[in-house]
Each structure stands twice: as C-alpha cells, then as structure tokens.
Structure 1
Amino acid sequence: MALFDLSRKPTGWQKWMLRAPSYLYRARLGFLFGKRFLMIEHRGRRSGTLYRTVIEVAGRLPEPPEYVCTSGTGPAADWYRNLQANGVDAVWVGSKRHEASVRFLEPAEAASVMAEYEREHPKTAAKLYDVMGVSYDGTEAGLVEMMEQIPMVAFSLED
C-alpha cells in the first residue's frame, strides 16, 4: 500500500506534506531535489492567485530542451487545469527561477516519454502507477490508453 494515494485529490496531512517542498524551493534550497523535481509557478484559473507546485520530472526532451512532467492526479489536478487556463509564470530548476512556456503532450508522445521513464526507473514507475491508481497491459497501445488518464506537460525554459 502506498503512503500517498494520488488517484484522488490529497487532503489533510497529505496535502501539507506535498506542499512542504515548495517552501524549500522558495528558500533557494531546490538543489536538494536535483533535477528530478521542479517547481512551477502558476495562476489560479478563477482567482488569479499565484500558486507554487513541486512536480516530478518524468523525462527530458532534447529539441528544444524541455522538462516533461506528469499530472499524477490526472486532468483534474488544480495545477494542470491552471496551466490549461493561464499557462505557466515560471519554473524553478534547482535554486534558479526561469521564465518558461508550457506544452501539453498528446497521449502517444506521453507514452513514449513514460516508456523511457519505465526503462530508466522500473521500480519507481511501478510505485508511481500504484500511487496514481493506474495500470496497463504492457503493450504500447495500453500505455497510450493509460496516458489519456495521466496527462503530461513539457516546460521549455526561456532564459
């Protein structure tokens, strides 16, 4: 059983634990997470309030250089919906804040990134699927179908 169940929106202590890393980034301690995580700054789709969310990097695409991240709680995640409505204000990688743009990956491209993630981190990928409450039959078509439930976004740093 996973410590966090990301198949639905976190509440209570889980929500607090998931927010804690953003305070480390804001204190310029993001280097503690290496390049495996990044923090995005985004605006609320209704309120316009600035939010900061730390998310895991699932892969990197070379041309143009992009960090690819997964919405573990699916398309209903607040940060994902905010990006759809307002784009991204900035992305923190390590201790540095960068202006950035966001691109939403199609399921086939997302499946390709996730397949690479599985090859590089098989145990972590299995745990991630458990936490997200998703699975697939091991086929490429099954992976594409699964990626319709857990969308991916790519961030390009602009400076």
Structure 2
Amino acid sequence: MASLASRMLHTRWLVRAPIPLFRAGLGFVFGGRLLLVEHLGRKSGVHRFVVLECVERPAKHRVVVASGFGERSQWYANLRADQHCWVSIGFARRRPAIARTLPPEVAEGVIERYRVAHPKAYDELAGVIEESIGSTLEAIPYVELILT
C-alpha cells in the first residue's frame, strides 16, 4: 500500500488536482484536512501553489504542515527564502500568513500527538515517507503557518 501511495505523491497532476477547487473557494469540501499555500518562487518571484495536509491545528490561526519530501521540497525552499505566504483552509480564503520552521524538539511533540490521534494514518504515512525519500516522519521538517 505504501508503494501505491508513494507513486501517487509523485504524480504531479494528481497532487495538484485540488488547487482549482481551493482557488474557486471550495476548500471547505476538504474539511480543514487539506489546505492551499500560495507562495512566491524564490528565483522567479512567480506565485506558486501547493496543497498540503494539516498535521495539527493548535489554534484557529495556526496550522502545522510537514514537508514530506524533506528540505528538497520546492514549496519548503520557497518559504525558507520568503516566509510570507497566503493560506486557504476550510472557509478561509487566501489569508496572509507567516511560515516558520519548527525546531526539532517542538516538531517531536507535533508528530507524537499525530501518532497518538491517528495511529493508522501515522503508520501509513511513515511507510510512504520512508519509501519516497528514505527518511522518517521524525526527520522531516515541520512548518507552522501563522495566519494574520
């Protein structure tokens, strides 16, 4: 099963399919589980879009996401270069936000709470991440998006 999910994550059209729904204001259909991050390309300055899974939402204005492909994820590198972005989640559309990479000790708590709350999803996701990039869920970067 991890192999199929890993292949799906590498299928560009599939992972980008929800973007038009978010841009049309239909992000609420994902129930807050997925979110759209709009950011600027670090070299091009062009607006870029990525749909990510909400790992944790500790407050209405704070969302934590994981960089499943590690530090080589383009969206992650772009947010490291410019922390300003826009987030669409649920009924909220294109809210300005600031991105900050969580320190490892804080990220450990996030992934542990995710493991406890969603044990089956954790096991599946751990297998997919390991197969996709050869890393563990604990080793990938976690980013907090603070909606302003």
With structure 2 as the length reference, what TM-score do the two structures score?
0.88
2:64 to 64, 68, 78: 68
Deviates more, 1:74-83 or 1:93-102: 93-102
Q: Secondary structure at the match of 1:89?
A: strand
Structure 1 contact 41–88 (Cα < 8 Å) conserved: no
Letter in 1 for 2:38: E
| SS in structure 2 of the partner of residue 99 of structure 1 | strand
Q: How far, CA to CA, are the matches of 1:155 and 1:65 in structure 2?
A: 8
Question: How far apart, in 2, do the equivalents of 1:16 and 1:32 lie?
Answer: 19
Q: Deviations over 1:7-58 (max 9, x none)?
A: xx82xxx111001111110111101111111110001111111011010011
Q: CA RMSD in A?
A: 1.8
User: Is 1:44 the counterpart of 2:41 in the alignment?
Assistant: yes
Q: Could you report, residue by residue, the CA deviation over 1:75-125 in whole angstroms, capped at 9, with x for unpaired residues?
A: 110000000011232000124221111111011110100000011100001
1:70 partner amino acid: A
Whether 2:22 is the aligned partner of 1:25: answer yes
Contact preservation (8 Å) 1:25, 1:94: no
Closer/same/farther in 2, CA of residues 30 and 45 from structure 1, 3 Å limit: same
Among the aligned pairs, what percent are the same residue? 38
**1:133-152 aligned within 5 A:** 133=130, 134-135=135-136, 147=138, 149-152=139-142
3-state DSSP of counterpart to 1:5: helix
Counterpart pick for 2:117 among 114, 117, 120:
120
Query: Secondary structure at 1:129's aligned position in 2?
Result: helix
Q: Report the TM-score, using the length of structure 1 for normalisation.
A: 0.82
Matched-pair contact (CA < 8 Å) for 1:40–1:88: no
Gaps of 5+ in 2: none
Tell me the matched-pair count. 141
The 1-side partners of 2:110 and 2:41 are apart by: 28
Query: Paired residue for 2:129?
Result: 132
Structure 1 residue runs of 4 or more that deviate by more than 3 Å after TM superposition: none
In 1: Cα distance, 2:62 partner to 2:28 partner:
18
- C-alpha distance in 2 between matches for 1:94 and 1:88: 20
Q: What are the ranges of 5 or more consecutive residues in structure 1 without an aligned counterpart? A: 136-145
Partner of 2:5: 4
In structure 2, C-alpha distance between the alignment counterparts of 1:32 and 1:88, rounded to whole Å = 25
Q: CA deviation at 1:4?
A: 2.9
